[in-house]
A and B are shown apart, each in its own frame.
Chain A
C-alpha cells in the first residue's frame, strides 16, 4: 500500500485566495482525520470522518475552513479566503478501528501551506 497520500506537498498562495488540500486515505480504512501543525499550537485536530461522514468538526477554526469526503478514497480541506495565519503544515491521517478501540493512525506526508 502506498500509504496516505496528500497533495500538494507545498502550497504558496496570497491572502484572499482559495486553497484546496487533498488526501487519499489507505484503502479499507474507515476513519479520516485532518490536523494542523504549527509551532505555536502544536498538533490540532480539525475534523474527522467515519465512513465518509463528518463526525466532529469542532476543531475547525472558522467558517473559512470546510472539509468534504465524497467517497472512501478522497477528502478535501478547503480554506476560502485564506489568511496569513493559516500558514501551517496540514496533515491527513487515516485509521481502521479494530477490537478494543485499537486506533493506530497513519499519517500522510503533509501539505506545507504558506499564505503571503
Chain B
C-alpha cells in the first residue's frame, strides 16, 4: 500500500515570499499524483495533477509541482504567495494498476500574512 508524507505541518509566510511544500510518497510502481487545496471553511478542490509526460505540472493560481521519480517526491511551489493563498494543502497519490483509491497526506496549513 502506498503512503504519503507531508513534512511541513504549518508554514507561515509574508506576501510575495516563495513557497515550497514537500510531499513524498512510498510506492514502488507507477503513480498518479495530486495536490488539493482547502480554503478556510470550504471543501477540498483539485489544485493540480500529474499522470504522465512533463514532470513539471502547472496548476491554477500560479502553482506548480515537480515530480521527481528518483526521490519519490511531488513538491508544490509558487514563486510569490498572496494572502488569498492561505489554506490547507493536501498531497495525494494513487497507484496505477492497483487500488484506485488515493491516499492523502496529513496536510500542510499555510498562513500568508499581508
B45 nearest CB neighbor, chain A only: A107
* Given A91-B43, A103-B94, A42-B100 contact (CB < 8 Å): no
Contact present for B100 and A103 (CB under 8 Å): yes
Complex interface: chain B residues within 8 A of A109 (CB): 42-43
The answer, yes or no, to whether A25 is at the interface (CB within 8 Å) is no
Complex interface: chain A residues within 8 A of B42 (CB): 109
Complex interface: chain A residues within 8 A of B107 (CB): 42-43
Partner of A100, one of B32, B44, B104: B32
When each residue 62-102 of chain B gets 1 if its CB lies under 8 Å from chain A and 0 otherwise, what string results?
00000000000000000000000000001010111110111
Query: What's the minimum C-beta distance from A24 to chain B, rounded to whole angstroms?
Result: 14
A104 to B33, CA, bound (A): 10
Complex interface: chain B residues within 8 A of A12 (CB): none
Complex interface: chain B residues within 8 A of A93 (CB): 44
A45 to B94, CA, bound (A): 14
A55 nearest CB neighbor, chain B only: B101
The answer, yes or no, to whether A116 is at the interface (CB within 8 Å) is no
What is the total number of residues of chain B having a CB less than 8 Å from a CB of chain A? Answer: 24
B94 nearest CB neighbor, chain A only: A103
Contact present for B104 and A56 (CB under 8 Å): no
A43 to B98, CA, bound (A): 22
Contact present for A43 and B104 (CB under 8 Å): yes
A109 to B44, CA, bound (A): 8
* Given A100-B51, A103-B32, A108-B43, A43-B100 contact (CB < 8 Å): no
Query: What's the minimum C-beta distance from A73 to chain B, rounded to whole angstroms?
Result: 19
A43 to B90, CA, bound (A): 9
Contact present for A91 and B46 (CB under 8 Å): no
A91 nearest CB neighbor, chain B only: B43
Contact present for A48 and B101 (CB under 8 Å): yes
Give chain A interface residues in 16-66, CB to chain B under 8 Å: 31, 33, 42-43, 45, 48, 56
When each residue 36-48 of chain B gets 1 if its CB lies under 8 Å from chain A and 0 otherwise, what string results?
1000001111100
Contact present for B100 and A97 (CB under 8 Å): yes
Query: What's the minimum C-beta distance from A22 to chain B, rounded to whole angstroms?
Result: 15
Q: Which residues of A contact B (CB under 8 A)?
A: 31, 33, 42-43, 45, 48, 56, 91, 93, 95, 97, 100-105, 107-110
